[in-house]
A = this chain, B = another copy of it.
């Protein structure tokens, strides 16, 4: 019986609300660890290496990428940000549950590496609601909005590879549903028996 922590991944198309819901879940379940990413960006005042990010130069980032440690990465304003398998393995190896939200490509990469994980796909309640949200942001061009709406079917198809699907028609409800999924995984008999046998002295 293993006392390894679980990996919970929240993913979904842009506009589904995964970052907002993810932040709510982290606040409500503070015992969840998050994955400290590697980045080539310079630390900002107050940021600590190994806490906010693992700060590395471009050379070191590329080396991690080449040896397959960086499971997913994005480039923002010329800086690289990446999720490290080594960081995740260390965390769950200590029996700590890890939660992260990522885009659909990141979710796919993580699924390949952690098939035992819990993968939650979050979607907005309807095409009309997605369109409303994208317009409300005020930062999306008309072309971009049309592109994203046209991609809805494609992005929804990705849900089939996830273990759970949350329909975000209300932020509090969606966060509660993600929390229920996490709670339920912790109640799996295999995980619980380790705990109860210790507590009952069996």
Contacts and interface: CB of A to CB of B under 8 A. Distances in A.
A196 B158 CA distance: 13
A188 interface: yes
A152 B199 CA distance: 13
A125 B195 CA distance: 11
Nearest to A162: B189
Contacts of A123: 196
Given A156-B202, A200-B127, A167 B192 contact: yes
Contacts of A125: 199
Q: Could you say which of A166, A181, A195 has the most chain B C-beta atoms within 10 Å of its C-beta?
A: A181
A184 interface: yes
A156 B123 CA distance: 40
- By secondary structure, the A interface counts as helix
Given A181-B187, A188-B164, A193 B159 contact: yes
Interface residues on A, range: 20 to 34
A202 B183 CA distance: 31
B181 A166 contact: no
10 contacts: A159-B193, A159-B196, A160-B189, A162-B189, A163-B189, A165-B189, A177-B183, A177-B187, A179-B180, A180-B183
A121 B195 CA distance: 14
Contacts of A183: 177, 180-181, 184
Interface in A146-202: 152-153, 156, 159-160, 162-167, 177, 179-181, 183-184, 187-189, 192-193, 195-196, 199-200, 202
